[in-house]
Protein backbone atom coordinates (compact mmCIF):
# COMPACT_ATOMS: atom_id res chain seq x y z
CA UNK A 1 0.00 0.00 0.00
CA UNK A 2 1.60 3.30 -1.12
CA UNK A 3 0.07 5.29 1.75
CA UNK A 4 1.76 4.71 5.10
CA UNK A 5 0.28 6.05 8.34
CA UNK A 6 2.87 8.26 10.05
CA UNK A 7 0.57 9.50 12.85
CA UNK A 8 -3.06 9.17 13.85
CA UNK A 9 -5.01 9.38 10.55
CA UNK A 10 -2.16 11.04 8.66
CA UNK A 11 -0.89 9.02 5.70
CA UNK A 12 1.95 9.80 3.29
CA UNK A 13 2.60 8.29 -0.14
CA UNK A 14 5.97 8.88 -1.78
CA UNK A 15 5.87 8.68 -5.60
CA UNK A 16 8.97 8.02 -7.66
CA UNK A 17 8.32 10.70 -10.30
CA UNK A 18 9.95 13.75 -8.67
CA UNK A 19 10.08 11.74 -5.42
CA UNK A 20 7.04 13.82 -4.47
CA UNK A 21 4.89 13.29 -1.39
CA UNK A 22 1.11 13.26 -1.33
CA UNK A 23 -0.42 13.36 2.16
CA UNK A 24 -3.87 12.48 3.47
CA UNK A 25 -5.27 13.91 6.69
CA UNK A 26 -8.39 12.18 7.95
CA UNK A 27 -11.22 13.36 10.18
CA UNK A 28 -14.81 12.43 10.87
CA UNK A 29 -15.93 14.49 7.85
CA UNK A 30 -13.52 12.84 5.42
CA UNK A 31 -10.05 13.26 3.96
CA UNK A 32 -7.94 16.27 2.95
CA UNK A 33 -5.41 15.60 0.18
CA UNK A 34 -2.30 17.74 0.38
CA UNK A 35 -0.72 18.13 -3.08
CA UNK A 36 -1.98 16.20 -6.10
CA UNK A 37 1.06 15.14 -8.18
CA UNK A 38 2.36 16.24 -11.58
CA UNK A 39 -0.26 15.24 -14.16
CA UNK A 40 -3.86 14.13 -14.53
CA UNK A 41 -2.68 10.61 -15.31
CA UNK A 42 -0.40 10.45 -12.25
CA UNK A 43 -3.23 11.75 -10.08
CA UNK A 44 -5.50 8.91 -11.20
CA UNK A 45 -3.02 6.48 -9.69
CA UNK A 46 -3.07 8.56 -6.50
CA UNK A 47 -6.88 8.38 -6.43
CA UNK A 48 -6.69 4.61 -6.79
CA UNK A 49 -4.29 4.49 -3.85
CA UNK A 50 -6.58 6.72 -1.76
CA UNK A 51 -9.54 4.46 -2.46
CA UNK A 52 -7.44 1.39 -1.77
CA UNK A 53 -6.66 2.75 1.66
CA UNK A 54 -10.37 2.76 2.48
CA UNK A 55 -10.10 5.62 4.97
CA UNK A 56 -12.96 7.73 3.59
CA UNK A 57 -13.93 10.18 0.88
CA UNK A 58 -11.88 13.19 -0.15
CA UNK A 59 -13.61 16.40 0.96
CA UNK A 60 -10.88 18.96 0.20
CA UNK A 61 -7.55 19.47 -1.55
CA UNK A 62 -4.65 21.67 -0.43
CA UNK A 63 -1.83 22.88 -2.68
CA UNK A 64 1.30 23.81 -0.75
CA UNK A 65 2.37 26.07 -3.65
CA UNK A 66 1.75 26.55 -7.36
CA UNK A 67 4.34 24.27 -8.99
CA UNK A 68 2.95 21.65 -11.34
CA UNK A 69 4.28 18.62 -9.45
CA UNK A 70 1.99 19.70 -6.59
CA UNK A 71 -1.05 21.00 -8.52
CA UNK A 72 -1.50 19.18 -11.84
CA UNK A 73 -3.69 16.51 -10.24
CA UNK A 74 -6.29 19.05 -9.10
CA UNK A 75 -8.62 18.49 -12.06
CA UNK A 76 -8.48 14.71 -11.60
CA UNK A 77 -9.56 14.90 -7.98
CA UNK A 78 -12.53 17.04 -8.98
CA UNK A 79 -13.45 14.60 -11.73
CA UNK A 80 -13.21 11.63 -9.38
CA UNK A 81 -14.92 13.12 -6.31
CA UNK A 82 -16.88 16.32 -6.81
CA UNK A 83 -16.82 19.08 -9.43
CA UNK A 84 -17.05 21.60 -6.57
CA UNK A 85 -14.37 19.96 -4.41
CA UNK A 86 -12.71 22.89 -2.60
CA UNK A 87 -9.05 23.43 -3.41
CA UNK A 88 -7.15 25.52 -0.87
CA UNK A 89 -3.95 27.55 -1.34
CA UNK A 90 -2.54 30.95 -0.55
CA UNK A 91 -3.90 33.73 -2.73
CA UNK A 92 -0.43 34.22 -4.22
CA UNK A 93 -0.06 30.54 -5.17
CA UNK A 94 -3.56 30.34 -6.65
CA UNK A 95 -3.01 33.46 -8.76
CA UNK A 96 0.29 32.12 -10.10
CA UNK A 97 -0.84 28.54 -10.80
CA UNK A 98 -2.13 29.05 -14.39
CA UNK A 99 0.96 30.91 -15.63
CA UNK A 100 3.33 28.55 -13.82
CA UNK A 101 1.55 25.57 -15.37
CA UNK A 102 1.66 27.02 -18.87
CA UNK A 103 5.41 27.64 -18.55
CA UNK A 104 5.91 23.99 -17.63
CA UNK A 105 3.77 22.85 -20.54
CA UNK A 106 5.92 24.88 -22.93
CA UNK A 107 9.04 23.18 -21.56
CA UNK A 108 7.52 19.73 -21.91
CA UNK A 109 6.30 20.55 -25.43
CA UNK A 110 9.95 21.05 -26.40
CA UNK A 111 11.10 17.92 -24.53
CA UNK A 112 10.09 15.49 -27.26
CA UNK A 113 11.89 12.53 -25.66
CA UNK A 114 10.49 12.96 -22.15
CA UNK A 115 8.33 9.94 -21.26
CA UNK A 116 5.89 12.17 -19.34
CA UNK A 117 5.50 14.74 -22.14
CA UNK A 118 2.07 13.73 -23.38
CA UNK A 119 0.46 13.36 -19.95
CA UNK A 120 1.71 16.78 -18.84
CA UNK A 121 0.48 18.44 -22.03
CA UNK A 122 -2.92 16.73 -21.69
CA UNK A 123 -3.46 17.98 -18.12
CA UNK A 124 -6.04 20.68 -17.45
CA UNK A 125 -4.70 23.36 -15.11
CA UNK A 126 -7.07 24.04 -12.21
CA UNK A 127 -5.98 26.63 -9.63
CA UNK A 128 -7.20 26.73 -6.05
CA UNK A 129 -10.50 28.49 -5.47
CA UNK A 130 -10.43 28.73 -1.66
CA UNK A 131 -7.63 31.16 -0.85
CA UNK A 132 -6.22 33.03 2.13
CA UNK A 133 -3.36 35.41 2.80
CA UNK A 134 -1.96 34.44 6.20
CA UNK A 135 -3.82 31.56 7.90
CA UNK A 136 -6.90 29.40 7.58
CA UNK A 137 -8.45 26.40 9.32
CA UNK A 138 -10.13 23.37 7.76
CA UNK A 139 -12.84 21.75 9.90
CA UNK A 140 -12.73 17.97 9.58
CA UNK A 141 -15.29 17.43 12.30
CA UNK A 142 -13.28 15.91 15.10
CA UNK A 143 -10.04 17.69 14.21
CA UNK A 144 -8.89 21.03 12.88
CA UNK A 145 -6.24 21.33 10.19
CA UNK A 146 -4.33 24.61 10.11
CA UNK A 147 -3.01 26.22 6.93
CA UNK A 148 -0.31 28.84 7.47
CA UNK A 149 1.60 31.07 5.07
CA UNK A 150 4.86 31.53 7.00
CA UNK A 151 6.48 33.80 4.42
CA UNK A 152 8.30 33.63 1.11
CA UNK A 153 10.93 31.02 0.36
CA UNK A 154 10.68 28.30 -2.27
CA UNK A 155 8.00 30.53 -3.85
CA UNK A 156 6.11 33.64 -2.87
CA UNK A 157 3.02 31.69 -1.80
CA UNK A 158 4.22 28.69 0.19
CA UNK A 159 1.97 27.28 2.87
CA UNK A 160 2.50 24.67 5.57
CA UNK A 161 -0.17 22.37 6.96
CA UNK A 162 -0.28 21.75 10.70
CA UNK A 163 -2.20 18.91 12.32
CA UNK A 164 -1.91 19.92 15.98
CA UNK A 165 -3.49 16.89 17.66
CA UNK A 166 -1.14 14.53 15.75
CA UNK A 167 1.91 16.86 16.04
CA UNK A 168 2.50 16.68 12.29
CA UNK A 169 3.61 19.49 9.99
CA UNK A 170 3.51 19.24 6.18
CA UNK A 171 6.17 21.63 4.93
CA UNK A 172 5.80 21.51 1.15
CA UNK A 173 8.97 22.47 -0.68
CA UNK A 174 10.11 24.82 2.07
CA UNK A 175 11.82 21.60 3.24
CA UNK A 176 13.24 18.90 0.97
CA UNK A 177 14.87 15.67 2.06
CA UNK A 178 15.87 13.83 -1.11
CA UNK A 179 17.65 16.76 -2.79
CA UNK A 180 19.01 20.17 -1.82
CA UNK A 181 16.40 22.90 -1.49
CA UNK A 182 15.19 23.96 -4.93
CA UNK A 183 15.98 27.58 -5.70
CA UNK A 184 13.88 28.29 -8.76
CA UNK A 185 13.38 31.42 -10.78
CA UNK A 186 10.50 32.30 -8.45
CA UNK A 187 12.31 31.70 -5.14
CA UNK A 188 13.13 34.23 -2.42
CA UNK A 189 16.54 33.22 -1.02
CA UNK A 190 16.84 36.08 1.47
CA UNK A 191 13.39 35.48 2.96
CA UNK A 192 13.65 31.71 3.16
CA UNK A 193 15.68 31.47 6.42
CA UNK A 194 13.26 33.72 8.33
CA UNK A 195 10.31 31.81 6.88
CA UNK A 196 11.76 28.58 8.23
CA UNK A 197 12.19 30.24 11.63
CA UNK A 198 8.44 30.71 11.72
CA UNK A 199 7.91 27.13 10.55
CA UNK A 200 10.12 25.90 13.37
CA UNK A 201 8.03 27.93 15.81
CA UNK A 202 5.05 25.81 14.73
CA UNK A 203 6.82 22.61 15.78
CA UNK A 204 7.73 20.81 18.99
CA UNK A 205 10.76 18.57 19.63
CA UNK A 206 8.57 15.60 18.67
CA UNK A 207 6.93 16.99 15.53
CA UNK A 208 6.87 14.74 12.47
CA UNK A 209 7.70 16.86 9.42
CA UNK A 210 6.70 15.82 5.89
CA UNK A 211 8.84 17.52 3.23
CA UNK A 212 7.63 18.14 -0.29
CA UNK A 213 10.04 15.52 -1.61
CA UNK A 214 11.75 12.62 0.13
CA UNK A 215 11.50 10.84 3.45
CA UNK A 216 9.69 12.09 6.53
CA UNK A 217 12.03 14.06 8.81
CA UNK A 218 12.13 15.61 12.28
CA UNK A 219 12.58 19.08 13.71
CA UNK A 220 16.36 18.69 13.89
CA UNK A 221 16.51 18.10 10.13
CA UNK A 222 14.56 21.32 9.51
CA UNK A 223 16.89 23.21 11.85
CA UNK A 224 19.92 21.96 9.93
CA UNK A 225 18.40 22.83 6.56
CA UNK A 226 17.43 26.27 7.84
CA UNK A 227 21.04 26.82 8.92
CA UNK A 228 22.35 25.94 5.45
CA UNK A 229 19.75 28.11 3.72
CA UNK A 230 20.80 30.90 6.07
CA UNK A 231 24.42 30.42 5.01
CA UNK A 232 23.41 30.93 1.36
CA UNK A 233 21.65 34.18 2.23
CA UNK A 234 24.47 35.54 4.39
CA UNK A 235 27.14 34.53 1.86
CA UNK A 236 25.36 36.53 -0.84
CA UNK A 237 25.10 39.52 1.49
CA UNK A 238 28.83 39.27 2.21
CA UNK A 239 29.81 38.94 -1.44
CA UNK A 240 27.60 41.83 -2.56
CA UNK A 241 28.83 43.97 0.33
CA UNK A 242 32.43 43.37 -0.80
CA UNK A 243 31.61 44.37 -4.36
CA UNK A 244 31.79 40.91 -5.94
CA UNK A 245 29.74 41.03 -9.18
CA UNK A 246 26.81 38.65 -9.36
CA UNK A 247 28.33 36.81 -12.31
CA UNK A 248 31.42 35.98 -10.22
CA UNK A 249 29.66 35.16 -6.97
CA UNK A 250 29.23 31.39 -7.37
CA UNK A 251 32.93 30.86 -7.89
CA UNK A 252 33.95 33.31 -5.17
CA UNK A 253 32.71 31.42 -2.11
CA UNK A 254 32.13 28.06 -0.50
CA UNK A 255 28.49 26.98 -0.40
CA UNK A 256 26.54 24.47 1.70
CA UNK A 257 24.86 23.04 -1.41
CA UNK A 258 26.26 22.05 -4.84
CA UNK A 259 27.09 25.10 -6.95
CA UNK A 260 25.19 23.83 -9.98
CA UNK A 261 21.92 24.23 -8.09
CA UNK A 262 22.57 27.74 -6.80
CA UNK A 263 22.63 29.96 -9.89
CA UNK A 264 19.06 31.13 -9.31
CA UNK A 265 19.68 31.50 -5.59
CA UNK A 266 22.56 33.91 -6.16
CA UNK A 267 20.85 35.85 -8.92
CA UNK A 268 17.58 36.17 -7.03
CA UNK A 269 19.31 37.09 -3.77
CA UNK A 270 21.40 39.81 -5.44
CA UNK A 271 18.21 41.20 -6.95
CA UNK A 272 16.53 41.22 -3.52
CA UNK A 273 19.30 43.21 -1.85
CA UNK A 274 18.69 46.93 -1.37
CA UNK A 275 21.17 49.29 -2.98
CA UNK A 276 22.65 50.15 0.42
CA UNK A 277 23.88 46.55 0.83
CA UNK A 278 25.76 46.47 -2.47
CA UNK A 279 29.12 48.00 -3.27
CA UNK A 280 30.41 48.91 -6.70
CA UNK A 281 32.03 45.91 -8.41
CA UNK A 282 35.64 45.32 -7.51
CA UNK A 283 38.13 46.36 -10.19
73 is a domain residue: yes
252 is a domain residue: no
115 lies in which domain range? 4-218
Q: For the segment 149-184, what is each residue's pLDDT rounded down to a tens digit?
A: 999 999 999 999 999 999 999 999 999 999 999 999
Percent of the chain surpassing pLDDT 70 = 97
Is the Cβ–Cβ distance between 262 and 270 less than 8 Å?
no
Tell the burial category of 1 from Cβ atoms under 10 Å away from its Cβ (0-12, 13-18, 19+).
exposed
14 is a domain residue: yes
236 is a domain residue: no
Q: Distance between CA atoms of 91 and 54, rounded to whole angstroms?
A: 32
Q: For the segment 196-234, what is each residue's pLDDT rounded down to a tens digit?
A: 999 999 999 999 999 999 999 999 999 999 999 999 999
Report phi then psi at 29, rounded to 5. -90, -15
Q: Distance between CA atoms of 244 and 238, rounded to whole angstroms?
A: 9
Q: Tally the domains of the chain.
A: 1
246 is a domain residue: no
Name the band, by pLDDT with cuts 50, 70 and 90, for residue 274.
confident
Q: Distance between CA atoms of 149 and 128, rounded to whole angstroms?
A: 15
169 is a domain residue: yes
CA nearest to 22, candidates 172, 181, 157, 217:
172
Half-sphere CA count of 115, side-chain side, radius 13 A = 2
pTM: 0.96
123 is a domain residue: yes
We report the CATH number of the domain holding residue 87 as 3.60.15.10
Q: Distance between CA atoms of 14 and 70, rounded to whole angstroms?
A: 12
263 is a domain residue: no
Amino acid sequence: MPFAEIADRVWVARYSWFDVNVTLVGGSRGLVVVDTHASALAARAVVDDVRGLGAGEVVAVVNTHEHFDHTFGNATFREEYDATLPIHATDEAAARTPAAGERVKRRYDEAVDDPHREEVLATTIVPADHVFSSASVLDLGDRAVELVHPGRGHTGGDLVVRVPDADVLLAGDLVEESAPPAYGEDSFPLDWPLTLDLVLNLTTPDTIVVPGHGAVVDRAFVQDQRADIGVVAETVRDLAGRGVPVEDALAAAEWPFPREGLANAVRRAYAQLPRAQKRLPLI
